[in-house]
Structure 1
Amino acid sequence: MDFLKILKSFEDFVYEALIWLVLLPKTLWRIVRRPRQMVTYVQAEQDREGDDRYGDAISPPLLLILCVLVAHVLDLALRKQAAPAMGTLAGALLKSEENLLLYRTMAFGIWSLAGAVWYLRHSRQPIHRLNLRNPFYEQCYLVAPFALAVSISTSLALVGGVLSAVGVGLFLLALLWFCIAEWHWVRERAALGKVHAAVVAGGLVLVGLLANTGLGYVLRHL
């Protein structure tokens, strides 16, 4: 009986994993082309009951995790990984691939959390896990393609040569797209004017950049 349950669980996992091969690029393409519509899609799916949520897409947190995983695999293929300096906090925490993937996911998740917390503060809602879920999920959809592009651009930049220039260009393009997507999200979520929304969106992007830079500095020097 236990063996049959294991087989059933394995069957479900294989099916889901293979479905991801179709839904991952489809979901990313929909987000890149129409980020505002995908935010509305999240709002509609979160209001639905049952297990059929996100039936034609990948759920936002899972999409972010998969984007980080795909970027990590590409990074391994592009260049030889340098081990973190021994004796540092980074060397202790990131010595395994699992810890590194978790760190990268959490690092990009900072943008999602920053946007969700800002919205709750702006709308004067209490910061509670139930209130955070919807704006956090919306932000995960916007952060996921940004995370994939930035991770790939970093790997290309570290390879050197022509690929380094390609990496820088990809990073700038991803940053521009993310800033515009955040601007639209802030405007529509908080009903702000164009200039005010641009200031807030720029602040949210900057918060994520500073948080990741500061965390990276601490890990490398402790």
Structure 2
Amino acid sequence: MTLLYEVVSWLVFYPLTLWRCLKHPLAMIGYAESTLRKPPEAQFQDALSPPIFLFLTLVLVHLIQAGVFHQSVVLSGVLGDTRNLLVFRAVSFSLFPMLLGLQHVRLAGQRLSRETLRPMFYAQCYVTVPAVLALDVALMLGHSPARWSYAAAWTVFAVGLLWYAGALMRGFMDHRGISRGRALRQTALALVLGSTSFVIAMLLSLLSGPLPADL
């Protein structure tokens, strides 16, 4: 019964968490970092846990792609299984908050460990989810046969990228106390490293079959 309640509660807390991330990304960064200092039973009482939030977003997008836009692809090898594909996508998109977490640990002057990295990773998951959602929506629109879909896809992608870059830059400035110029450089570095790592992960997936078209 506890598991049933937990799953059903996602219907309430998923849109609430998404709205809070979109409206107050910096507050959600601070919320994730501070909440993890509490006892486990007191953590994330009024929002979804960041890793669950990211994974649910990918599941939701996958269901919309397959059920509404009918953008499914038949793969061979390990990624031929839907569950493996979802795990692969979760790991690939998690590279962004992981690399950002490493940057924040370094800028905070902390020794790298599982304990110091975890709150930074969780915090960055919150601001990464809207960017992932924007990317997937742009890809879905790009596959639509409607004439306006191509322009709409690029608009959604550009807005999502600008929002993400702005959230990352303000996060570096407010939570790590660095200058605007240094925050801009750290943001550019995060986007370049994250994108490069993501592309490498996708290329490695070729070892198990064709590249997923819905990534």
Question: Is structure 2 residue 4 aligned with structure 1 residue 18?
Answer: no
Partner of 1:156: 141
Structure 2 portions without partners, runs of 5+: 209-215
Larger Rg: 1
Query: CA offsets per residue over residues 156-178 of structure 1, 9 Å max, x none?
Result: 21234333332221111111110
- Using the size of structure 2 for normalisation, the TM-score is 0.89
Write the distance in 1 (CA, Å) between the matches of 2:141 and 2:98.
27
Write the distance in 2 (CA, Å) between the matches of 1:196 and 1:160.
43
Question: Is structure 2 residue 45 aligned with structure 1 residue 55?
Answer: yes
Contact 1:70-1:148 at 8 Å conserved across structures: no
Contact 1:74-1:152 at 8 Å conserved across structures: no
Partner of 1:208: 194
Write the distance in 2 (CA, Å) between the matches of 1:191 and 1:57.
26
Query: CA offsets per residue over residues 15-60 of structure 1, 9 Å max, x none?
Result: 1111110100011001100111111211221122241311111011
Query: CA offsets per residue over residues 50-84 of structure 1, 9 Å max, x none?
Result: 41311111011111111111111111121241223
Q: By how many angstroms is 1:221 displaced?
A: 6.7
Q: By how many angstroms is 1:220 displaced?
A: 3.1
Q: What secondary structure is seen at the aligned counterpart in 2 of 1:51?
A: helix
Write the distance in 1 (CA, Å) between the matches of 2:50 and 2:168.
16
Structure 1 portions without partners, runs of 5+: 1-10, 85-90
Q: By how many angstroms is 1:130 displaced?
A: 1.0
Contact 1:23-1:58 at 8 Å conserved across structures: yes
Structure 1 runs of 4+ aligned residues shifted over 4 Å read: none
Query: CA offsets per residue over residues 93-139 of structure 1, 9 Å max, x none?
Result: 21011011111111110000001111223334332111111101100
Q: By how many angstroms is 1:217 displaced?
A: 2.8
- Using the size of structure 1 for normalisation, the TM-score is 0.86
Write the distance in 2 (CA, Å) between the matches of 1:179 and 1:56.
26
Q: What secondary structure is seen at the aligned counterpart in 1 of 2:110?
A: coil
Write the distance in 2 (CA, Å) between the matches of 1:132 and 1:195.
24
Partner of 1:107: 92
Partner of 1:88: none
Pick aligned residue for 2:114 from 129, 132, 154: 129
User: What is the aligned length?
Assistant: 206
Structure 1, 44-53 or 16-25: larger mean CA deviation: 44-53
Contact 1:63-1:144 at 8 Å conserved across structures: yes
What's the % identity of the aligned pairs?
Answer: 24
Write the distance in 2 (CA, Å) between the matches of 1:50 and 1:130.
14
Query: CA offsets per residue over residues 169-219 of structure 1, 9 Å max, x none?
Result: 111111111000100111123211101101111110121111112222333
Q: Which has the higher contact order (CA 8 A, sep 6+)?
A: 2
Distance 1:59 1:221, change over 3 A: closer
